[in-house]
Amino acid sequence: MAYDEGLEERIRQVVGDDPSYTAKKLFGGLCFLCDGNMCFGILGDELMVRVGREAYAAALARPHAREMDFTSRPMRGMVMVASDGCAEDADLRDWLGRGTSFARSLPPK
């Protein structure tokens, strides 16, 4: 599955040259890791964000967010954000911040 390279470029502009971020092709898309922990990624034209179980319900309540059901079963703690939900730079930064905050709450790998 191809992923939105324009969204990738926008994400790279936000994370800049911070060495704690790396990118890997996973799930048929592109995943970003922070200190070795997955934080967000791109599947098709949607943003995938790891928010954790505690922030999961609140994240799902946001506009354009839905359960990540990549395997036909919801992956608790992971949400998909439709392209409309991250079209504005401020919204994208907010979602990326949520993913980064959760990843940084975990021990580095």
The pLDDT value recorded for residue 1 is: 58
Residue whose C-alpha is closest to residue 14's, from 82, 99, 78: 99
Give dist(CA 58, CA 43) in Å, integer. 21
pLDDT band (50, 70, 90) for residue 72: confident
Listed by start position, the domains of the chain span: 5-104
pLDDT surpassing 90 at residue 71: no
Residue whose C-alpha is closest to residue 65's, from 37, 56, 40, 100: 56
Global pTM value? 0.94
Backbone angles phi, psi at 25, to 5 degrees: -80, 115
SS3 content of the chain, % helix, strand, coil (to 5): 35, 30, 35
CB 50 within 8 A of CB 77: yes
CATH of domain 5-104: 3.90.1150.30
